[in-house]
Amino acid sequence: MTESVLRDRELPDLSNGEITRYSRHLLLPEVGVQGQKRLKAAKVLLVGTGGLGAPLALYLAAAGVGTLGIVDFDFVEESNLQRQVIHSTRDVGRPKVASAQDRIKGINPRCSIVTYNTMLSSANALDIIREYDIVADGTDNYQTRYLVNDACVLLGIPNVYGSIFQFEGQASVFYAKEGPCYRCLYPEPPPPGLVPSCAEGGVLGVLPGIVGCVQAGEVLKLIIGGGETLIGRLLLFDAWKMKFRELRLDKEPNCPVCGRNPTIRELIDYEQFCGLKKNDREEPVETITATELKARMDRDEALQIIDIREPHERAIVKFPRAKPIPLGQMARRVDEFDPAIDSVFICKIGQRSVFAIRALREAGYTGRLLNLKDGVKGWAREVDKTLPVY
């Protein structure tokens, strides 16, 4: 049975209004007055107010968690609204932390909210996280996941983890005092570009709601005490097949941050660790802007314009004069390119096409290769504003 992370905390009283508001909790013997007092005393930090952060914030506030910290440096975009239910149409263009704060206050004005309109980094993570009892990680990138994990291990704080991609989600509780950490499961990040982001790969709108609610449930159990948490377990969910699976996780004795002889004793450069910093030995990729490409097309210059997007993505927006060659087929179709003619590579936002160019170089191609800066999104913004942005 899980012991409360607030076991030694002096607890506040509940007002008559709070007893009415949380009466359905108080009727549960596993929660009761003591559990609700713990919720009121608790401080939880939410890293990200996107797909996962939205249900986390909404349900933790509704449950009566006394203090919620929210970290996010992003602004609300229209494409967020398909799944980030804490934001509304009128919030487009606003900082996410401001939009989330308004919604949380609307649900529970008794909840104290601390906003951090900044990127969590090695420079500020420890100072921010040490003020909280639990961290709920709703991020969508590896460098922040490793950062949150390491900070939580160093501070002795539980990290309630969730991640989503397309139709699949994962959830666990990484608490080095009682079980494995994130590095025990994933010692190293995948190579950059191997796993597309939700912006490139897509995500079923309801999926983060399901996974985020699982995370919220884990947070409540850690605060209240009791039940069985996901410490030492990884919950896998497939929304398309509607299946849950569970994997046992063991603590890795040689884990560099929570093992017997840790080598990581302070926060590191996570961009470098995840391979996101420029490698001086790596040949740079030449870019071309949308307006530059349009000018060359208007001059009817000989160009090989290659659209590396998959068929279902090309159906959303077609690119003029482009030959479709999906990224996975690039290296084996190198013979279709003419080294005497410049090749321009197109994807959604100009990231996957970089890997297409490098794949061709590794295959021995010697022609000039150009990457369309900002991809189809840049073309729609600078050249053809009638195109939809997805």
Is residue 1 one of the residues assigned to a domain? Answer: no
pLDDT at 282: 66
Residues annotated catalytic, as ranges: 198, 347
pLDDT at 47: 98
Same-domain pairing of 303 and 221: no
pLDDT at 110: 97
Is residue 186 one of the residues assigned to a domain? Answer: yes
pLDDT at 237: 98
The encoded tokens of residue 252 equal 């890795």
Mean pLDDT of 208-212: 98
Is residue 387 one of the residues assigned to a domain? Answer: no
Written as one letter, the residue type at 315 is A
Handedness of CA 334, 335, 337, 338 (dihedral sign): positive
Global pTM value: 0.88
Helix (H) or strand (E) holding 71: strand 67-71
Q: Is the pLDDT of residue 232 over 90?
A: yes
DSSP-assigned letters across all residues of 192-213: TTSS--HHHH-B-TTHHHHHHH
Task: Report which DSSP code applies to 10.
Answer: P
Q: For residue range 308-347, list pLDDT tens digits in order.
A: 999 999 999 999 999 999 988 988 899 999 999 999 999 9
pLDDT at 283: 78
Percent of residues in the chain assigned helix, strand, coil, to nearest 5 = 35, 20, 45
Q: For residue range 355-374, list pLDDT tens digits in order.
A: 899 989 988 999 999 999 99
Q: Is the pLDDT of residue 203 over 70?
A: yes
Q: Partners of 235 in the beta sheet?
A: 171, 246
pLDDT at 278: 64
Q: How many domains does the chain have?
A: 2
Instruction: Catalogue the long-range contacts made by 216-221 (C-beta closer than 8 Å, 24 or more residues apart).
Output: 216/55, 216/56, 216/59, 216/60, 216/63, 216/136, 218/160, 218/171, 218/173, 219/44, 219/56, 219/60, 219/65, 219/134, 219/136, 219/160, 220/39, 220/60, 220/63, 221/2
Which residue from 305, 176, 154 is spatially nearest to 232, judged by alpha carbons?
176
The encoded tokens of residue 242 equal 């509607």
Is residue 229 one of the residues assigned to a domain? Answer: yes
Same-domain pairing of 230 and 297: no
- On whether the CB atoms of residues 361 and 345 are closer than 8 A, the answer is no
DSSP-assigned letters across all residues of 232-269: TEEEEEETTTTEEEEEE----TT-TTTSSS-S--S---
Q: Which residue has the higher pLDDT, 261 or 275?
A: 261
Mean pLDDT of 250-254: 96
Handedness of CA 325, 329, 333, 338 (dihedral sign): positive
The encoded tokens of residue 309 equal 């997007």
SS3 call for 210:
helix
Q: How confident is the model at residue 290 (pLDDT cuts 50, 70, 90)?
A: very high
**What is d(CA 333, CA 46) in angstroms, rounded to the nearest whole number?**
45
Same-domain pairing of 250 and 142: yes
Same-domain pairing of 290 and 269: no
- On whether the CB atoms of residues 152 and 135 are closer than 8 A, the answer is yes
Is residue 389 one of the residues assigned to a domain? Answer: no
Instruction: Supply the mean pLDDT for the chain.
Output: 95
Domain that holds residue 290: 286-382
Same-domain pairing of 266 and 334: no
The encoded tokens of residue 82 equal 């398909």
Mean pLDDT of 189-207: 85
CATH number at residue 375: 3.40.250.10
Q: For residue range 169-197, list pLDDT tens digits in order.
A: 999 999 999 999 999 999 999 887 777 77
Name the strands in the sheet holding 342-346, side by side, starting at the edge strand that comes first in the sequence. Answer: 286-288, 369-372, 342-346, 303-307, 323-324
Last residue of some domain: 251, 273, 295? 273
Longest dimension (CA), the chain: 80
Same-domain pairing of 321 and 197: no
The encoded tokens of residue 295 equal 């000018």
Q: Partners of 346 in the beta sheet?
A: 307
CATH number at residue 96: 3.40.50.720
How much of the chain exceeds pLDDT 90, in percent? 88
Question: What residues have CB less than 8 Å from 118, skipping those under 6 apart?
Answer: 71, 73, 124
- On whether the CB atoms of residues 235 and 246 are closer than 8 A, the answer is yes
